[in-house]
Amino acid sequence: MVGRRVWAIAEGYIPGRSFSDQRELISHEAACILNATETPASIEITVYSTDRGPAGPYRIRIDPQRTRHLRFNDLSLSDPEPIPRDPPYSSVIRSDVPVIVQHTRLDSRDPHIALLSTIAFPAET
Protein backbone atom coordinates (compact mmCIF):
# COMPACT_ATOMS: atom_id res chain seq x y z
CA MET A 1 0.00 0.00 0.00
CA VAL A 2 1.52 3.30 -1.09
CA GLY A 3 1.46 6.02 1.54
CA ARG A 4 1.36 6.90 5.20
CA ARG A 5 -1.39 7.63 7.69
CA VAL A 6 0.10 10.75 9.29
CA TRP A 7 1.71 13.69 7.54
CA ALA A 8 2.85 17.14 8.64
CA ILE A 9 3.38 20.40 6.76
CA ALA A 10 5.42 22.89 8.78
CA GLU A 11 5.05 25.77 6.32
CA GLY A 12 1.76 27.55 5.99
CA TYR A 13 1.03 31.03 4.73
CA ILE A 14 -1.87 32.28 2.65
CA PRO A 15 -1.00 35.72 1.28
CA GLY A 16 -3.71 38.25 2.05
CA ARG A 17 -3.68 39.74 -1.43
CA SER A 18 -4.10 38.51 -4.99
CA PHE A 19 -3.81 40.42 -8.21
CA SER A 20 -6.67 38.43 -9.71
CA ASP A 21 -9.98 37.08 -8.47
CA GLN A 22 -9.98 34.13 -10.85
CA ARG A 23 -10.01 31.00 -8.74
CA GLU A 24 -6.94 29.54 -10.41
CA LEU A 25 -4.91 32.70 -9.79
CA ILE A 26 -5.97 33.63 -6.26
CA SER A 27 -3.14 33.32 -3.75
CA HIS A 28 -3.63 29.93 -2.15
CA GLU A 29 -2.11 26.94 -0.44
CA ALA A 30 -3.07 23.36 -1.14
CA ALA A 31 -2.55 20.00 0.46
CA CYS A 32 -2.62 17.67 -2.52
CA ILE A 33 -3.75 14.31 -1.19
CA LEU A 34 -3.76 11.07 -3.17
CA ASN A 35 -5.76 8.09 -1.97
CA ALA A 36 -4.41 5.29 -4.16
CA THR A 37 -6.06 2.61 -2.04
CA GLU A 38 -9.31 0.72 -2.71
CA THR A 39 -10.89 2.18 0.45
CA PRO A 40 -12.41 5.63 1.15
CA ALA A 41 -10.10 7.82 3.23
CA SER A 42 -11.45 9.72 6.23
CA ILE A 43 -9.04 12.55 6.86
CA GLU A 44 -8.65 14.98 9.75
CA ILE A 45 -6.56 18.12 9.44
CA THR A 46 -5.38 20.01 12.51
CA VAL A 47 -4.07 23.54 11.99
CA TYR A 48 -1.45 25.02 14.33
CA SER A 49 -0.83 28.72 14.94
CA THR A 50 1.88 30.87 16.44
CA ASP A 51 -0.03 32.26 19.35
CA ARG A 52 -3.05 30.14 20.14
CA GLY A 53 -4.15 26.53 20.35
CA PRO A 54 -4.78 24.33 17.32
CA ALA A 55 -7.94 24.61 15.21
CA GLY A 56 -9.86 21.66 13.88
CA PRO A 57 -9.95 18.91 13.09
CA TYR A 58 -11.24 19.80 9.68
CA ARG A 59 -12.70 16.65 8.17
CA ILE A 60 -12.64 15.60 4.56
CA ARG A 61 -13.22 12.37 2.72
CA ILE A 62 -11.47 11.13 -0.40
CA ASP A 63 -12.93 8.33 -2.48
CA PRO A 64 -10.86 5.27 -3.37
CA GLN A 65 -8.36 5.83 -6.19
CA ARG A 66 -9.03 9.54 -6.30
CA THR A 67 -6.97 12.65 -5.61
CA ARG A 68 -7.99 15.86 -3.92
CA HIS A 69 -6.08 19.12 -4.15
CA LEU A 70 -7.50 20.65 -1.02
CA ARG A 71 -7.10 24.40 -0.66
CA PHE A 72 -6.50 25.56 2.87
CA ASN A 73 -8.33 28.70 1.73
CA ASP A 74 -11.50 26.64 1.41
CA LEU A 75 -11.39 25.13 4.90
CA SER A 76 -13.41 28.18 5.96
CA LEU A 77 -16.47 27.19 4.03
CA SER A 78 -18.07 24.53 6.18
CA ASP A 79 -15.69 23.84 9.01
CA PRO A 80 -14.90 25.03 12.53
CA GLU A 81 -13.23 28.32 11.54
CA PRO A 82 -11.47 29.86 8.57
CA ILE A 83 -7.67 29.91 8.32
CA PRO A 84 -6.72 33.58 8.54
CA ARG A 85 -4.78 35.17 5.67
CA ASP A 86 -1.24 36.35 6.42
CA PRO A 87 -0.43 34.75 9.80
CA PRO A 88 1.85 31.69 9.59
CA TYR A 89 0.42 28.25 10.32
CA SER A 90 1.28 24.54 10.13
CA SER A 91 -0.82 21.43 9.72
CA VAL A 92 -0.99 17.76 10.62
CA ILE A 93 -3.00 15.46 8.40
CA ARG A 94 -4.28 12.11 9.71
CA SER A 95 -5.96 9.53 7.51
CA ASP A 96 -7.44 6.13 8.31
CA VAL A 97 -5.84 4.66 5.19
CA PRO A 98 -2.42 5.37 3.68
CA VAL A 99 -2.31 8.49 1.52
CA ILE A 100 0.35 10.72 -0.05
CA VAL A 101 0.51 14.46 0.70
CA GLN A 102 2.27 17.28 -1.13
CA HIS A 103 2.19 20.96 -0.18
CA THR A 104 1.96 23.75 -2.76
CA ARG A 105 1.56 27.53 -2.61
CA LEU A 106 0.69 29.93 -5.38
CA ASP A 107 1.53 33.51 -4.42
CA SER A 108 -0.19 36.04 -6.65
CA ARG A 109 0.32 39.21 -4.69
CA ASP A 110 2.17 40.26 -7.82
CA PRO A 111 0.73 39.50 -11.30
CA HIS A 112 3.88 37.49 -12.00
CA ILE A 113 3.10 34.58 -9.75
CA ALA A 114 5.54 32.57 -7.62
CA LEU A 115 5.21 28.89 -6.73
CA LEU A 116 6.62 26.55 -4.12
CA SER A 117 6.03 22.87 -3.47
CA THR A 118 7.38 20.06 -1.37
CA ILE A 119 6.52 16.59 -0.32
CA ALA A 120 5.00 16.81 3.20
CA PHE A 121 6.76 15.08 6.10
CA PRO A 122 5.66 11.43 6.26
CA ALA A 123 5.41 10.47 9.93
CA GLU A 124 6.44 7.02 11.06
CA THR A 125 3.07 5.92 12.35
- Do residues 28 and 14 lie in contact, with contact meaning Cβ atoms separated by under 8 Å? yes
The yes or no reply on residue 38 touching a copy of itself (CB under 8 A) is no
Nearer to a copy of itself, 12 or 97 (CB): 12
Q: Which residues in 62-101 contact a copy of itself (CB under 8 A)?
A: 65-69, 86, 88-90, 92, 99-101
Q: Minimal distance in Å, beta carbon 68 to a copy of itself?
A: 6
Cis upstream peptide for 54 (omega within 30°): no
54, 59, 81, 96: which one binds a copy of itself (CB under 8 A): 54
Q: Is 11 exposed, middle or buried (0-12, 13-18, 19+ CB in 10 A)?
A: middle
Task: Tally Cβ neighbours within 10 Å of residue 51.
Answer: 5
The C-alpha atoms of residue 63 and residue 58 are separated, in whole angstroms, by 17
Residues that bind a copy of itself (CB under 8 A): 2-3, 6, 8-13, 24, 30, 32-34, 36, 46, 48-51, 53-54, 65-69, 86, 88-90, 92, 99-105, 107, 109-123, 125
